[in-house]
Amino acid sequence: MDFSSVIGLISGLAVISVTILISGDLAGYIHIPSIICTFGGTIAMTVMAFPADKLKEGLAALRHVFYYSETNAEYVIKSIIDLANIARKEGLLALEEAAQQLKDDFLQKGILLIVDGTDPELVRNILETELSFIEDRHKNNQGVYEYMAAIGPGFGMLGTLIGLINMLANLSDPSTVGPNMAVAIVTTFYGSIIQNVLCNPVINKLKIRSSQESLMKEVMLEGMLSIQAGENPRIIEEKLKAFMSPKLRNMLDSAKEPKGGEE
């Protein structure tokens, strides 16, 4: 579980709730018709805007905000170096058995292409095409929440207009002006909640997830092509570490160093 997402969401809602309680009455911010207009309208138009399969994929992507198993850079580099050592000692054909033990489908597919004797340029094209489609799928998933973030405030404004119309229709009764104005404005509040508390953080987290996955896939691709080219495992390792931040490189180097007392 990604505790930063859970803590962030709970903290955001808590800050809003505490602010309301300090300055007013929480019950005054709960208005069923406004909720129906803002949240219901946003959901309805999102359903209309996306094909059913794209909408289903986008909603399913929400779990990656709270539950995500990040591909470990150390595991990726170690796997590639192990494969490089096998290829150097026993030849490329020996990689077929090792490929069956790999956990990552992208890495396994690339190794099997190499074992089959596929031209290096074709291997690159196939895997880059797959990576491109993965990134497109991620963008489509993000697009669902980007659309909701865009139209949520619009439905909030629509609810405000409805409230103002009702207020003006009863302008002859001054006692109704204040309550009707409050109801009119609360829909704008709901629209802002949809955009800034629910959708924008989800969009940003999904973009980070996509960037992390794409980086690991690029590392795998470069490593596999280096194995196919017959490069020295040590050179491959240094090449792959160039994709990493200095902090992560230091962590990888520290993991390789023998513990105290070992020789």
Tens digits of per-residue pLDDT, 32-49? 888 999 999 999 999 999
What pLDDT does residue 262 have?
46
Say whether both 16 and 39 belong to one domain: no
Element (H, E) at 198: none
For residue 71, is it within any domain?
Answer: yes
CA atoms of 87 and 75, how far apart (whole Å): 18
For residue 247, is it within any domain?
Answer: yes
Q: What CA–CA distances, in Å, run from 161 to 33, 172, 215? A: 13, 19, 46
First CA to last CA across the chain, in angstroms?
38
Say whether both 199 and 220 belong to one domain: yes
What pLDDT does residue 247 have?
74
Comparing 27-31, 97-101, 187-191, the range with the smallest average pLDDT is: 27-31
CA atoms of 50 and 139, how far apart (whole Å): 13
Domain that residue 150 falls in: 32-256
CA atoms of 19 and 76, how far apart (whole Å): 46
Say whether both 61 and 11 belong to one domain: no
For residue 188, is it within any domain?
Answer: yes
Q: What CA–CA distances, in Å, run from 222 to 103, 106, 114, 237? A: 18, 12, 13, 11
Say whether both 115 and 5 belong to one domain: no
Say if residue 263's pLDDT is above 50. no
Comparing 9-23, 96-110, 171-185, 223-237, the range with the smallest average pLDDT is: 171-185
Say whether both 246 and 197 belong to one domain: yes
What pLDDT does residue 257 have?
61
Say whether both 135 and 228 belong to one domain: yes
For residue 263, is it within any domain?
Answer: no
Say whether both 86 and 1 belong to one domain: no
CA atoms of 77 and 177, how far apart (whole Å): 67
CA atoms of 256 and 6, how far apart (whole Å): 34
Say whether both 151 and 24 belong to one domain: no
Say whether both 140 and 63 belong to one domain: yes
For residue 194, is it within any domain?
Answer: yes
Q: What average pLDDT does range 11-40 have in this prediction?
A: 89
Say whether both 45 and 8 belong to one domain: no
For residue 261, is it within any domain?
Answer: no
Say if residue 255's pLDDT is above 70. no
Task: Give the pLDDT confidence of 60-115 residue by residue, as tens digits.
Answer: 999 999 988 777 888 888 899 999 999 999 998 889 989 888 888 999 999 999 99
Say whether both 46 and 64 belong to one domain: yes
CB-CB contact of 70 with 212 (8 Å):
yes
How many domains are contained in the chain?
2
Say if residue 228's pLDDT is above 90. yes
What pLDDT does residue 18 have?
92
CB-CB contact of 196 with 227 (8 Å):
no
For residue 152, is it within any domain?
Answer: yes
Comparing 7-16, 103-112, 238-247, the range with the smallest average pLDDT is: 238-247
What pLDDT does residue 101 have?
87
Q: How many CA atoms lie within 13 A of 260 on its CB side?
A: 0
Q: Which carries the bigger pLDDT value, residue 166 or residue 87?
A: 87
pLDDT classification of 214: cutoffs 50, 70, 90 = very high
Say if residue 226's pLDDT is above 70. yes
Q: What average pLDDT does range 213-229 have in this prediction?
A: 93
For residue 203, is it within any domain?
Answer: yes
Q: Is 69 helix (H, G, I), strand (E, B) or coil?
A: coil
CA atoms of 243 and 104, how far apart (whole Å): 19
Say whether both 80 and 7 belong to one domain: no
CA angle 17, 21, 23 (to 5 degrees): 115
Say if residue 217's pLDDT is above 90. yes
What pLDDT does residue 168 have?
83
